[in-house]
A and B are shown apart, each in its own frame.
Chain A
Amino acid sequence: MLEIPQPALRPLRIYATDPRRGYSAARTTIIEIENEPLEAGPVGARLEVADYDANHGIFYDAVNLNDPAILMQSGVVPSEGDPHFHQQMVYAVASRTLANFDRALGRRVSMRKGEAKTKLRLLPHAFEGDNAFYDRELHAILFGYFSADPAKPGSNIPNQTIFTCLSHDIIAHEMTHAIVDRLRHYFLEPSNVDVLAFHEGFADIVALLQHFSYRDLLIDEIRRGRGDIVDGSLLVNLATQFGEATGSGKALRSAIDIKNPDPRRYANETEPHERGAILVAAVFDGFLTTFRSRISDLVRIATGGSGRLPPGELHPDLVGRIATEASEAAQRQLDMCIRAFDYLPPVDITFGDYLRARVTADFELDPDDEWGQRAALIEGFRRRGIYPAGVTSLAEDSLRWTPALPGIAPMIDSLSLLLPQLLQHEAQQFTKVSSSPATATWARKAQQAMSGEELNTFLPESPTGPMRHALLQYAQNNAAALGLAGGPDVYVAGFNAVFRVAPNGALQIELIAQFIETDKTSQCDPEWGGVPARGGTTAIIGVDGQLRYAIKKPLPTAQVDEHAREKARGRIAEQRAFTERLDGSDPQTNYLDNAGFAARMTARMSLRALHEGAN
């Protein structure tokens, strides 16, 4: 018998609209995800669904997605009463989100955390409660379920059980938290007012854009014709509808303020979800502008140039074309949003940093910007009063990170032996896991090898040991150019090779390393509450070994020049002031014991508490 090659994709069914708005009205769709070898759970290479209900102390039977009866019908049929479907949906959406990151970042994001926790764990029914959260220590996403309020059931019946794991946007949102935490470990440390807001806002952006990338769903929605495709209000309506489910549901509704954004909100808002919503709106604004310019020809054809659609139903072909444009624009936008990550500083992020990173990342890959996406994005930020610090104008070239000055010893010198090894490793990782059964087995084994995200969790004798050593040497030798103090305690928070194909077809290979330094005084001082002052640099190195960008957030040390030191002092003072503000508004501050006081900022890193507050 001939062996039939494995397909690249696996179709699975999900609920496409939030079932909180009523299961009867819930819409379903089929999405395609990477086909990887699965065990019952489902348990894949990087994700593991474990259906343990801690409230009742029971396990629910795990679904085997390779069961022919399930394969034949593109996955388990959506049902709120069947935990098998819940497991499938959580896995499918999480896998899709992960794949979006892989694709945009040009490498496989590792979900491995040490020896014991090799996969990110998803618990679809972990507890009873109207919440879902990613927990770093557990290395898991816990979804809650709860009964609809008997007094205010909304569109549900009183006491009906509502599952957070059946909301596409909640899954994508939490998954993004988990991935971002892998990519940037320090983005949960609230060192300024933007940090947690960025975590929340970015998770919402990914959830929203991923939702928009499902073409079939869009076709249905456009046909139903809620809102106008010409002025884009259709997408705004859809966004608010999708956004209801995400962490900042309420905020998102108010955030899609395309017509008259209020620039004062960014100056005054401090609550992470509300502030994150401003970021969502800024990005969404850019997306909408791009979408409009991309469908302008279709609109002209459909309206005979009048700009007014004829009454009645839209032509199905037109619906199909518009849905394609919308879903492709969303996917491209999502890629851009994620790609910016490699150009972010490793600590203390602000929305302004994110804008600069996006503009830089996008310019590097696509200097021409045919559709004006970058200009639209900058405009979206400008309208909301988000200006990066230390930038003289909002022109594209002043927003891009300043390229590194030549004169630094090429990294290739110190890494000449290791570099090919790393490139080969990352390249293999990036090859489709499922292309052959042999690769699949290999990929499982390779999980035990190395990857940048877990560089420091490895023992010195592991393959990453020498690489880490070489990187430290490099950082210490080139401290001044990298904006580091260069002491012995520089920490390498991540190191990756990335492969990307530019729109013109060119293959781009780059190495990205994150260096961190921690201020020792603030680390021991309980007044800082466990989140010390940190500095750090993201170094982007060409494959020739030359430093291309050094994206710095230095500490005010003697090694950096006077101007940078002054700025760094300001940044640290800002962190102190922010800590004080949080202390002031937190009712618990008064009654903490000494240990609790010294760890209070660490406690505020909890996404669980953050999400509870948002409900």
Chain B
Amino acid sequence: MALTVRMYEVGFGDCFLIGVHDPAPSRWILIDCGSITEGKAKVRAVVDDILALCRNGDGNPELALVIATHRHKDHVWGFDDPRWADVLVGEVWMPWTEDPADPRAIELRGRQAKLALALAVDKSDENPLELTPANETVKEQAVRALRAIALNALTNEAAMKTLHEGFKGSPPRMFLPEPDQVCQARTVGGVAGVVFHVLGPPRGDKALALMDPPEGAGYLRWPTRIPPRQVDPPFSARYRIVDPAYLPTVLGATFRQSDKKEIEKALEEPDGFLGLALDKAINNTSLVIMIEAGEHHLLFTGDAQWGSWQAILAEPQCRALLERMTLLKVGHHGSHNATPRALIEDLAPEPITALISTKPVKQWPGIPRPPLIDALGDRHDRIGRTDRELQATAAGFSVGTGLYVEWTDQAPARKPRRRAP
């Protein structure tokens, strides 16, 4: 079977186009389309390429399946392009948390949205990562990057509308996994011979906690309460020391001016924790799907994080599937929490192909995480990175300069993986 995976260079974002070329004509599956580091023009160019490529027999753009792993801007932003309305789509898959009829999903989305709105002080269209103000301190730089994470959660409406209501041909929307299904195997009309195994996100109550923004946990009260609830000094004015001569700091007592400063400094609010927690909560709603085509087992992980992975790895059925993995879309742009050590070390003892869609952001030196890249390298995995075109060419990927890195199964044949029982 001829199979291709075109990984678009959308910077810190994901956009994967999978082609199933045997039997002809080719059928196409799109997984995510978004970015937070790239501008509109770049994302537009990516959509151009997709639309040009996926032509059906009538010469019209057609996708057999669109998968949106989760609602972060770096995964869905590209769907706000008006041209999607003319694309014929077979089915649209989203995580169960997007289901407009599921009360639990509605509540969860409501809480996530509320926190996202509260965090995004400035909802202007400009991308905090693109700004480069002069004379910026290191701290300001960090804050700017944190704002980008908060804004990432504020998916723009148009993109989600396309996914929920748009496209040509009124494709059915599936919210996965379906209740009480573990590792459900699905097929899509028109794509014969390809099986989609839905591994995540988990659905249980415990799983829900992973996706819940920290509002319920009480973080909102302090130190990052939003909006600040101003409280007056709790005592009547007569208890206040006003005469400077009586302030403890001048009285020669042990409490010095420096102590006062120290306490004030210690109470300063830590930056961005809420934004990060929300980021994790939404990442954990990611659809995790393994595509089985012949002997190929391609794992698309979205941005699933530690909690979601724990649930997946706890299912023996899922583990059995993961052991057959031949290609891995490395989760969350290569970050620390999105690729469990067990997945690489225990479940995949033989080299695989690893696709990493990423772009280093100065403030986040941990993405992609160097030890993870090293570990993949040490195992002789074939690594394709969107930010390393030369390397990708050397590793046998085809490269569309400035646009994509593509894997095809024409590349050096691998023998089917066998594991000792």
- Contact surface of A with B, Cβ cutoff 8 Å: 39, 41, 43, 48, 50, 52-62, 81-84, 116-119, 121, 123, 125-131, 135, 137-138, 140, 142, 144-147, 161, 163, 527, 580, 583-594, 597, 612-613, 615
Contact = CB atoms under 8 A, between A and B. Distances in A.
Contact of A580 (B254, B335, B341, B363): B341
Given A147-B231, A590-B367, A612-B218, A60 B240 contact: yes
28 contacts: A41-B253, A43-B253, A43-B254, A52-B255, A52-B260, A54-B264, A55-B267, A58-B241, A61-B239, A81-B236, A82-B239, A117-B254, A131-B222, A135-B266, A137-B266, A138-B262, A527-B371, A584-B337, A587-B277, A587-B305, A589-B336, A589-B366, A590-B279, A590-B364, A591-B149, A591-B272, A597-B366, A613-B217
Given A135-B266, A612-B222, A163 B253 contact: no
Contact of A593 (B279, B336, B364): B364
B402 interface: no
Given A590-B367, A591-B364, A138 B266 contact: yes
B255 A590 contact: no
Nearest to B280: A587
Interface of B: 142, 145-146, 149, 217-219, 221-223, 225, 229, 231, 233-236, 239-241, 247-249, 253-256, 259-260, 262-264, 266-267, 272-273, 276-277, 279-281, 305-307, 332, 335-338, 340-341, 363-367, 371
Given A138-B266, A580-B341, A146 B222 contact: yes
Given A59-B249, A127-B267, A138-B259, 18 more contacts: A43-B254, A52-B248, A54-B264, A54-B267, A55-B231, A58-B233, A59-B248, A121-B255, A126-B263, A137-B262, A142-B267, A146-B222, A527-B371, A589-B337, A590-B336, A591-B276, A593-B142, A597-B366
Contacts of A125: 234
Given A83-B239, A163-B234, A48 B254 contact: yes
Contact of B219 (A146, A593, A612): A612
Contacts of B273: 587-588
Given A129-B222, A138-B262, A161-B231, A590 B332 contact: yes
Contacts of B281: 587
Contact of A53 (B222, B233, B276, B277): B233
The 6 closest A-B pairs by CB, nearest first: A129-B222, A584-B306, A587-B280, A615-B218, A590-B335, A587-B276
B221 A129 contact: yes
Contacts of B337: 583-584, 586-587, 589-590
A59 B222 contact: no
Contacts, number: 155
A138 B255 contact: no
A39 B252 CA distance: 13
A591 B366 contact: yes
A506 B324 CA distance: 70
A11 B253 CA distance: 26
B239 A60 contact: yes
**Interface SS of B by simple majority:** loop
A118 B254 contact: yes
B351 to A, nearest CB: 23
B141 to A, nearest CB: 9
Nearest to A123: B263
Contacts of B267: 54-55, 126-127, 142
B231 A146 contact: yes
Nearest to A161: B234
Specify which of B234, B236, B248, B305 lies most central, judged by the most chain A CB atoms within 10 Å of its CB: B234
A12 B381 CA distance: 71
A425 B363 CA distance: 54
B253 to A, nearest CB: 7
A138 B336 CA distance: 32
Nearest to B270: A609
A142 B259 CA distance: 13
Given A129-B221, A589-B336, A591-B364, A61 B241 contact: yes
A527 B370 CA distance: 12
A228 B287 CA distance: 53
Contacts of B218: 130, 612-613, 615
Nearest to B247: A59
A177 to B, nearest CB: 16
Nearest to A581: B306
A145 B340 CA distance: 41
Contacts of B276: 587-588, 590-591
Contacts of A131: 222
B75 to A, nearest CB: 16
Contacts of B255: 48, 50, 52, 121
A61 B146 CA distance: 41
